[in-house]
Structures are given as C-alpha cells and as structure tokens.
Structure 1
Amino acid sequence: MLERIPYRPLDCASLPQRLGDRPELLAPLGPATGWRVREVGDGNLNLVFIVESDAGSLVVKQALPYARVVGESWPMSLDRAFFEHEALKRLGARDPGRVPDLKLFDPTQALLVMEHLTPHTVVRRALMAGEELPRLGEHVGLYLARTLFRGSDWSLPTAVRKADLALFAGNVELAGITEELVFSDPFKDAPLNRHTPGLEAAALAVRSDRALKIAAQEMKARFATCAETLLHGDLHTGSVMATADDTRVIDAEFALYGPMGFDVGVLLAHLWMACFARSAHHGDAPSADRAGARLLACAETCWQVFAAEFARLWRTERTGILGGCDLFEDQGDSEGSEAALAGQLATVWRDALGFAGIEIHRRILGLAHVAEFETIADTGRRAALERRALAFGRHLAVNRHALDTPAAVTCAVLAAEGV
C-alpha cells in the first residue's frame, strides 16, 4: 500500500521502514531488513539513495523542498519529481534502453524508484579519471537525434505534441531557473554568482561586452520562445552514466519544450570544458594530449551521428504536422526535402554553438560550476584555464554563424589553448 503521510524527506535510516512495504522494491530487493542504504546525491537539488541487498539494487531519488546547492533559503516546489517522471517515460520510449527503467513514482513523497545503473560511472568523473568511453559520442548522438526529432512536430501527431507542450509548460519553476541562472546572471553582477579568485577582470569584462550580451539575449529568446521539442533540459556530463559499451541519460527534472539545439549545445559545452581542464587531471603532457584528443573526437562524433540519425528519421518518420511530404516527396521533389533538412540541421548546429558558449560562461561565472575546474586546488592555474574556456565560449556565442563544422570548432579549441 502506498504511503499517504505528508511529505517527509528520507534518510538512510528511515528509508527501509518507510518504503519496506512497497512491492516495487520488495520484489527485486527482498525484505527490508536486508537492505543496505547509502546516500550518493552530489547534484544541486535532490536526495539520491542506492538501496542494495543480496538480491539486487535500486536507486531512490527524492526531491527536496528547496535547492540543495543553496539551502532552505531557496524554497522549491516538489512538482519537479512529477515532470522528471513524465519526461523519462517519453524519452525512454523515443530511444529505448537509453534511460533507466522506472519502477515507482510516488507524487506525495516526490520520489522515483528506478534501475540502479551498475557498473556505470557518471561520465564527468570517468572523463576526469582518464577512462575511455569509446561509444559515448555515438550513443549520445543517437539519443539526441531520436528524442529531439520524435518529440517534435516533425514526427508526433499534432494533438499529442500540443498536449505534451501544455503539460510541460507547467514546469515553470525550473524553466525560470534556467532562464535566469544560465542566460542572465553570468552577464551581470548577480548575488548568486561566484568565480575563481583571479577572474575579477574577466567577470567585469563580460558585463561590459555588448556583443556577448546581445548573443546571450538572443539565445535566451530562442530558449524561451521556440517550443520545438521536449528537451531533457540539463544534459551535461553529470547527467549521463556510461560504461565502455553502454550509455544512459539520467536526471530529467528540468524537462520542458524548447529548441533542439539546447540539449545538443549543453552537452557539447561540457565536453569542450573538460578538454580545457584536462591538463590539471592528467599527470603528464602525453596523457593530457590523448585525453584532449578523445574529448574533441567525442564531440565531433556526437554531432556527426546526430546529423546522420536525424537525417534518417527525417526521411523515414517525418509524419507530423510539419512533415511536408505533400510539398516535396509527394510531388517528386526529393531535392527540396533534402534542402529543407539541410536548413533544419544548420539551425540546430548554429543554436547548439550559441547555447554552448552561454553554458560555458554560466559554469565559470554563475552559481553552479563544474568539477573539472572546481577540483583544481591551485586557483591561479584554475583561473588561467577558465580564462581560455571563457574566450572560447565567447567565440562560440558571438561567432556561431561563422563556425560551420565540428572540425572548425575543434580548431577554435586548439587556438584558445594556444596549440
């Protein structure tokens, strides 16, 4: 029987008692007296527990009524657990096997129980440790193409798409967080901003950089007004877990409708930031060079696979209200269809570069930073690497119309590094 008591945060001691009668946990784990619980949440918002027994293991994720990264002074709605549940169901159906299996959703307690991904590692940690993930670029490229295309008016029946748009419009609180923390705060003197000592001049320069602020405003307008498809909404390397052969996407509470290029750009931004930070996490120059080559190749592969799979879906699953087969293929004009495809991919790529450039700024000058930089104890070295990343991010955002290919972006990374 589902627990009907008012919401109360879980802890390691209370979890077996409070969830020990749930059949969704009992079947794979056995009696609660044999459960071993540990809290592993290292994100900004939620509690995350791994529950293990001799029979198996599961993950329990519970929303907190405040932003964990700040504390109780920043209250938040528990509704984000509902939106994550609904998003994972849809994303999992659009690219089967690429998100964890869902076992239970309890809206009263704002918790999800899902498959424990093991021996998967959070991609951010794996990349920092120098692990090779040879299929990461391929898998995330396929995931992005399938979820973004199949959640859009290119593919979905219009009634379904519009109903989903109305549903996820309710995730207004987390959308507002993105709109302010990503697109506005890093470009002004916002109270939640923080940066590495030594970056004061860089932060001031950003606030007076008219071209960059115009780019940030343009990308914010794209994010806020282009309800193109269902987005994961926070697809960075901490929201992906992988082994050498498998890749899974987690943590979809920021899901909303927006432009396709947003998810693509955020993920690429984190691969590129990892490249800038790599020299601090590898003991010698050859190891750092190899890690950098892998990261740049992964980013290029991600886009190439995305474009190829998006094109395949365009040619085989373009059945939504935007399909346009009646305008092209049905009139014998396959070249026209291919021209429209090229235009759509060009828009996604241009948007992705703009969003990537803004994401780099917010992860260095805003509230939520990345471990690749934050774990560098030498703040002088950290600041120097972050300056290079900021220069690259500015180039992406301001000159996004001039960078036509992933190879051109790779050259820009190397140029910003002084290679």
Structure 2
Amino acid sequence: MILQIPLNPRQEKYLRKSGLLLSNENILEYSKAGEGNMNVVVRLKTETRSIILKQSRPFVNKYPTIPAPLGRIFIEDDFYRIINQNEFLSSYSPKIIARDKANHLVAMDDLGKGSDFMGVYQGGFSFSEEESGALAGYLSSLHQMKVTNFPDNIEMKKLNHEHIFIYPYMEFNGFDLDGVQPGLQAMSMKIKTDLKLKNAIKNLGKRYLENGKHLLHGDFYPGSWIKVDSGLKVIDPEFAFMGDAEFDLGVLIAHLKMAKSNQNTINAIKNSYSLYSELDEKLLHKYIGTEILRRLIGLAQLPLSLTLEEKSGLVEEAKKLILKP
C-alpha cells in the first residue's frame, strides 16, 4: 500500500483493516503534513483524533533519483520509543501508535499544525530565549541518555556521509551551482581544489562513520524543528545514530551562523548545553565548518538570503574552523 493524496478506496481499506481507522470513524482530513524531504507524510484527521502517517520509499522523497534505505522509517520509530522513556524529551516528540513493517509505515501522534524554522535563513528572525534554551536542553538531555542497543543505521550514515564529506568536494559532480547563485560555481572550485582542506574533511568523514557513545538526532537543523501551539518540537530523526555529541551541536551552530544569528544566541546555546565542558572543541569546530561548506556548495541547498560575498566570508570562516580549529 502506497500513501498518496487524495485518499483512494485502497488506502481507506488498508487504514480500516489495519485498525488505524475504526469502523465508525469518518475521515475529515487526509492531507500532506509538512514538506517530507525524506519520506511521505500524511495527516489523517477524524471527528475524535488526528494522527500522522509516515512512509519510506526506496528513494529520497524530495530527490527521487537518490536511492535511500527503506528501513529508515524504523530508525525514526526506534528513536522515538527510546527518547519517550525520558520525561523531558518525550514532551518534544510524538508517541508511536503503530509500526507496519511490510509497508514501511509508521503511525504517530499529531503534534498539531505548525511551521518549521526554515524562515530563519531569510533574515529578521531571532530565536526567543525559550526557544534557544529548548534546543540546547533537548541536545543536552539526548546526549546524556544511556543507550546501548540502538541500531547502527549504517546505510543512512553512508548516504549522509556521501553528501556531507564527499559529493560537495568533487570537482565535476554534475551540479551547476551557478543555477543556485551566479558565481557560486567558481567560488566552489576554490574549495574543491584545496587538497589540504579536502583531506581534513575526508578524515573527519571517516570518524563520522565510526560508532560513538552518544545517541544523536543526526540532522539537527531548522527543518527538523517545528513550532506548534504547545511550543517547539523536534522531528525527523531518520538519520539518528550513536556518534560524537559534537556532530549534533556542530550542525546546530553551523545553521545559526548561516542564518546570521547574532553571537549572543550562539553563546546562549553553548552556555545552556550542559555537556559543553566535556566536548572536544576542535572536533566541534571541524563539524561546524564542514556543515557550512556542504550546505553552501552541496546538493542539500538552503533558502539562504546571503550574497556571494557573504558566502565567501563563511567559506573562509569554515576553512579556519576545519584547518585551524
């Protein structure tokens, strides 16, 4: 059964037969829920409740030409089941209702209609003290969880590894960056031909593929945070794995920099992250720099409101963070 909109008789039959929809329930809404970069996401609403259905396909939903592991939806399921054992973290994410292995589908609570934080890149946005505290508090609690049996998620790590540490630095990868912003292709070649920089990133990528001791969200950026009536929530942990705490925090800080957040916000995040004194700050800086570079010249582009000169400045900052952390 393949989730699709609008609802068709085959889908409704599946929903009732599986018990996701009771015989006496009438469907009031069956609609797209969010952008669903990796997976298909549908909101199912009846007179009494609203649930979210997520289904993985053998490719990235936003980029159908890129293959992706079908089992990623169950990594998300495993992640939610683990963190929902923590009272603090459970308030940030949905509860799992059902898992359908045959159809690579998971049903979960609907956190409510809201919006993600992708608008941070457009300028004029500032995080509230409560929001920045929530982001730091979430990562602090997550990274302190004692987890011993989380799947290695190696196939998703390999996919992410390709797009963070390899693809952006290929001189001829087929992606015309001038189509994103004129002049960006020429700027990228300065990075792609810097052998010292590429070797440092390659070595960092090897570390990324190793197992670590902390449970990570794996994709902790504004597209994975949503604002609903009850506050900030964290979703889409299909890239979750056991690794370096510095990776999650580095991704967060990198996106704040690309969004031109003020240094006070970044400092507040660092100060509120309770494990900061235990981190390898050089490693953190390398992850920050690498995330900045891959977002500027890689396939996973962001809606950045940056001039070419501003991007060039970020590139220089990123290089220093990687080479002279």
TM-score by length of 2: 0.87
Structure-1 residue corresponding to 2:167: 185
* Structure 1 stretches lacking a partner, 5+ long: 1-6, 276-291, 312-341, 401-419
CA 175–265 in structure 1, closer or farther in 2 if over 3 Å, else same: same
The equivalent position to 1:144 in structure 2, one of 139, 153, 168, is 139
* Structure 2 stretches lacking a partner, 5+ long: none
- Structure with max Cα Rg: 1
**Distance (Å, rounded) in 2 between the aligned partners of 1:37 and 1:125:** 26
The answer as to whether partners of 1:148 and 1:229 remain within 8 angstroms in 2 is yes
**Distance (Å, rounded) in 2 between the aligned partners of 1:184 and 1:90:** 31
State the number of aligned residues.
317
Structure-2 residue corresponding to 1:250: 235
**Distance (Å, rounded) in 1 between the aligned partners of 2:190 and 2:209:** 26
The equivalent position to 2:14 in structure 1, one of 15, 18, 26, is 18
Which letter maps to 2:68? M
Q: Could you list the per-position Cα deviations for residues 259-301 of structure 1 after superposition, in whole angstroms to 9, with x for gaps in the alignment?
A: 11111111111111111xxxxxxxxxxxxxxxx43xx433222
**Distance (Å, rounded) in 2 between the aligned partners of 1:57 and 1:23:** 14
Q: Secondary structure at the match of 2:173?
A: coil
**Distance (Å, rounded) in 1 between the aligned partners of 2:244 and 2:174:** 26
- In the TM superposition, what are the counterparts of 1:267-416 in structure 2 within 5 Å? 267-275=252-260, 292-293=261-262, 296-307=263-274, 310=275, 342=277, 344-345=278-279, 347=280, 349-371=281-303, 373=304, 382-400=307-325
**Distance (Å, rounded) in 1 between the aligned partners of 2:12 and 2:309:** 47
**Distance (Å, rounded) in 1 between the aligned partners of 2:167 and 2:74:** 27
**Distance (Å, rounded) in 1 between the aligned partners of 2:3 and 2:113:** 27
The answer as to whether partners of 2:176 and 2:185 remain within 8 angstroms in 1 is no
Q: Could you list the per-position Cα deviations for residues 308-356 of structure 1 after superposition, in whole angstroms to 9, with x for gaps in the alignment?
A: xx38xxxxxxxxxxxxxxxxxxxxxxxxxxxxxx4x33x1x33222111
Q: Report the identity percentage.
A: 23
**Distance (Å, rounded) in 2 between the aligned partners of 1:306 and 1:107:** 36
Q: Secondary structure at the match of 2:273?
A: helix
Structure-2 residue corresponding to 1:219: 204
CA 382–17 in structure 1, closer or farther in 2 if over 3 Å, else same: farther
Q: Secondary structure at the match of 1:117?
A: coil
Structure-2 residue corresponding to 1:240: 225
Structure-2 residue corresponding to 1:205: 190
The CA deviation at 1:174 is 0.9
Q: Which has the higher helix share?
A: 1
Q: Could you list the per-position Cα deviations for residues 210-243 of structure 1 after superposition, in whole angstroms to 9, with x for gaps in the alignment?
A: 3322331232122122522221111111011135
Which letter maps to 2:296? I
Q: Secondary structure at the match of 1:367?
A: coil
Q: Could you list the per-position Cα deviations for residues 59-105 of structure 1 after superposition, in whole angstroms to 9, with x for gaps in the alignment?
A: 2111112122332x433331111111111211332423121222222
TM-score by length of 1: 0.69
Structure-2 residue corresponding to 1:316: none
The answer as to whether partners of 2:68 and 2:159 remain within 8 angstroms in 1 is no
The answer as to whether partners of 1:135 and 1:245 remain within 8 angstroms in 2 is no
